[in-house]
Structure 1
Amino acid sequence: MTNRGKVALVGAGPGDPELLTLRAARLIAGARLVVFDRLVGEAVLDMVPPDAMRVDVGKQTGRHSLPQDEINRLLVDLALAGHDVVRLKGGDPFIFGRGGEEAQALAAAGVPFEVVPGITAAAGCAASAGIPLTQRGVAESVRLVTGHRMDDRDLDLDWTSLADPRCTLVVYMGVASAERLAGGLRGAGLAGETPVALIERGTTPYQRTFYSTLDGLAADMAAWRPQPPSLLVIGQVVAHVTLPQLRSLVHEAAQ
């Protein structure tokens, strides 16, 4: 009888391999079979041994290479067949990564697994753009939300709760729903001049950061045409960007 393998649900961080945990880097370097998502950075994938088996299950809005339930089944089947699997997920597995669903499927099948946390996009991308997610006297809390809904349903968030001027709002997968986000927040009372940053491909050599306001976001998004993965940061902290070379861009966007 073949011994069952184990699965490591590994957070690959926001893209820069220098931001991997030591545990993640060791597992990747020693991997024999890697199952990875589209949002795993190319430089991180370059660390996978060239002779390791790679399985791309990448998903993006409107196109799923493999549905989530089939990914769950794949991980279980591979482990039950005796393979040790490194499951690479962008950012942190348990923050909008559906790692919890995979962990539940593995546990239900009796497959041993571990979870290796990673730097989530909110922290990594904001830091690389010089935006402090919290700052005394400016933002007392942070909210992480997703702008994408299962089965592409209409976005339905608790706008009143989110429209807090003392809170920083970070929106994952919010490009397609940016206009709806801005309208919902303004309708709940958040000022139209609230600063917004959009960080495209954060922490990678291709990073671009754009600045706008809630009032101007829809028009600016049409002009920017950002590419995924992109992250929205909404709140007064955007005006407190800590990289001097970017401050003028923030102020121009606010005018």
Structure 2
Amino acid sequence: MRPALVVICADPSADDGAAVTQWRSAVAEILPGVVVTVDCEAPLGKTGTVFLIGAGPGTPGYMTARAFEALAASDVVLIDHLAPTSDIESWAPGAEIIDVGKVPGRHKVPQREIDQMMIDFALAGKNVARMKGGDPYVFGRGTEELYVCERAGLDVEVISGVTSSIAVPASAKVPMTLRKVSHMFTVVSGHAELSDDELDHLAGFVKSGGTISLLMGVRTLPHTVAGLLARGVRADMPLGTFESVYRKNERVRYSTLERAVDELSDVRPPAITVIGEVVDAGNAEGKDAEARRDALLQLALSEGRDGRA
């Protein structure tokens, strides 16, 4: 039977502290998410709270009031790669700031260690802010981190953030839905290649007027595009990529499903790809694009109900 919790009682500052750390790591590898280290020499007291903070798409202007309140109350801040940090010292005055960010192909701090850091700091009575880009519950491992902290007996507050899947395209005036054009959208992770079943679903979805917002999909875009084309999505379906939005090297590019792999081969993460008719609502690059945009918006503004808002 798998244990719900393994507690290692030790004094990390003792002479054998390194051995304790090695032993804990070995146990944690066998039983991830259930190992807790307690300093038996420390006085018993109230544990800290863990805040899972969604920090929005990369600029402080999209952070919520509750996010700032939680940061101000935190003793430790664990920062992800895409979280805004321009003035973190003033948002969390006196807090210990630790960069645990992950970039494609390189994890500075493994997820298991991040989990353990949250637990150890909170058990020591410190409030911990786990600061993530976007929303912690949209491909942010928020539920997994909530689970391991709750199993350690900790209080956790989830603070939603503005998801980049919507906010980043919106910065280029590309909507997810548009009256009489698209009445549904889906958010997809492209971190791994999509399965045949997933591509079947998405092809039918976009052919029915749906919009796809693809996160972490730069590396797998050729596979996604080929799969959609093979399943009958039209070759000239509008596609846009939004690269490093809210950063100095921000780029917005427009293409079509058929041309995207060749035309957008130099796009680098972080980038969001949107596939669907609504992309034309934000594209005004050239006369042809302006004409398509005008036609699309005239349709959306036309009188008569289509049964949807």
Q: TM over 0.5, yes or no?
A: yes
TM-superposition CA deviations, 1:180-233 (whole Å, max 9, x none): 1110111121111111110012244543211111111111122xx223211001
Q: TM-score, normalised by structure 1?
A: 0.89
SS across alignment from 1:24: helix
1:247 corresponding residue in structure 2 = 284
Q: Which residue is equivalent to 1:212?
A: 255
Higher relative contact order (CA 8 A, sep 6+): 1
2:66 is equivalent to residue 23 of structure 1: yes
Conserved? CA contact 1:186–1:214, under 8 Å: yes
What TM-score results when the alignment is normalised by the length of structure 2?
0.74
Percent identical pairs in the alignment equals 36
- 1:157-236 equivalence runs, <5 A: 158-163=198-203, 164-165=206-207, 166-204=209-247, 206-222=249-265, 225-236=266-277
How far 1:148 moved relative to its partner? 0.5
Structure 1 residue 128 displacement after superposition: 0.5
Unpaired segments ≥5 residues, structure 2: 1-43, 293-309
Report the CA distance shift for 1:7/1:34 in structure 2 as closer, same or farther (over 3 A).
Answer: same
Task: For 2:132 and 2:173, locate their aligned partners in 1 and report how far apart those are by CA, in whole Å.
Answer: 24
Structural mapping, 1:40-59, within 5 Å: 40-43=83-86, 45=88, 47-49=90-92, 51-59=94-102
| Structure (1 or 2) with the larger CA radius of gyration | 2
RMSD: 2.0
**Partner secondary structure for residue 247 of structure 1:** coil
Q: CA deviation at 1:63?
A: 0.7
Residues 135 and 101 of structure 1, relative CA distance in 2, 3 Å threshold: same
| Inter-partner Cα distance in structure 1 for 2:162 and 2:72 | 19
- Do the aligned residues in 2 keep the contact of 1:192 with 1:214 (CA within 8 Å)? yes
Secondary structure in structure 2 of the residue aligned to 1:248:
coil
- For 1:34, the equivalent position in structure 2 comes to 77
Question: Which of 42, 46, 50 is the equivalent residue of 1:7?
Answer: 50
Conserved 8 A contact 2:56-2:133: yes
Q: Which runs of 4+ in 1 moved over 6 A?
A: none
Structure 1 position 14, deviation (Å): 0.2
* 8 Å CA contact retained: 2:74, 2:126: no
Partner secondary structure for residue 174 of structure 2: coil
Conserved 8 A contact 1:212-1:250 = no
